[in-house]
């Protein structure tokens, strides 16, 4: 996450990797956070200074304005039609089974995590000769077992039936297979690059699972 944030900050005019690291360590992890700060706050960071602080603030403001403008233009330009996948009867059946299984699936937690703050609220294999979870005592968290898993044939598929692939740039979009794969834009992708990805996906007839403009 740190490397991705620093890479994003280096797109600001006047900010290299060293300055981006300083900004990140100070709490400015995104271009938006710099836009929301004042020039005095940026200039007050050790290693930045007044002139560079003004330059960084102006550049960040300009990037955000351009991204917002691009996003508005994209909303007008993209006329994406819903992309669907043709599923066979067996796949539909297995997806329905998975949906029912997930609705009944318990939340697996570490033994006594609800009692002790020092214990993380996630699953860990129980151990110890007195551990009641280990012996599957009634009233304790159930053990993780193979029976709770999804059918192997549809494991990892999106509910729509597409294989979900994270995309961060145009190359990732172009590598998708239109007949069975759909893209999910990475959370660190900015508005300008996101709009470009969505336009390219619409051009190639690809499905984006988290588009900026929802298609009914």
* pLDDT score for 53: 78
At 160, list the tokens.
């729509």
Q: Which residues have C-beta within 8 Å of that of residue 126, sequence separation ≥ 6?
A: 110, 111, 133, 134, 143
Sign of the alpha-carbon dihedral angle for 51, 56, 57, 59: positive
Q: Rounded to an integer, what distance in angstroms lies between the CA atom of residue 18 and that of residue 6?
A: 9
Domain with CATH 1.10.150.20 in the chain: 2-77
Higher pLDDT, 51 or 94: 94
The CATH number of domain 2-77 is 3.40.30.10: no
Q: Quick one: average pLDDT of 73-78?
A: 51
Higher pLDDT, 162 or 36: 162
* pLDDT score for 12: 80
Q: Record the pTM.
A: 0.50
Q: Which residues have C-beta within 8 Å of that of residue 124, sequence separation ≥ 6?
A: 110, 111
pLDDT digit string (tens) for 43-73?
Answer: 778 778 888 877 887 877 777 666 655 555 5
* pLDDT score for 216: 47
* pLDDT score for 156: 84
């Amino acid at each position: 996450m740190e490397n991705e944030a620093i890479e994003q900050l280096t797109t600001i005019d006047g900010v290299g990797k060293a300055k981006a690291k300083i900004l990140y360590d100070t709490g400015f992890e995104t271009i938006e956070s710099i836009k929301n700060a004042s020039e005095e706050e940026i200039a007050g960071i050790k290693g930045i200074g007044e002139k560079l602080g003004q330059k960084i603030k102006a550049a960040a403001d300009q990037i955000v304005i351009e991204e917002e403008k691009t996003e508005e233009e994209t909303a007008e330009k993209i006329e994406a039609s819903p992309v669907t996948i043709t599923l066979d009867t067996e796949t539909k059946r297995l997806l329905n089974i998975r949906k029912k299984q997930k609705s009944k699936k318990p939340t697996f937690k570490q033994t006594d995590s609800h009692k002790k703050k020092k214990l993380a609220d996630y699953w860990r294999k129980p151990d110890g000769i007195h551990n009641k979870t280990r012996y599957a005592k009634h009233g304790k968290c159930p053990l993780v077992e193979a029976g709770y898993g999804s059918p192997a044939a549809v494991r990892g598929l999106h509910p729509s039936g597409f294989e979900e692939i994270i995309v961060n740039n145009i190359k990732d979009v172009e590598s998708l297979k239109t007949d069975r794969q759909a893209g999910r834009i990475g959370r660190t992708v900015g508005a300008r690059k996101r709009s470009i990805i969505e336009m390219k996906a619409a051009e190639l007839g690809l499905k984006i699972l988290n588009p900026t403009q929802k298609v009914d």
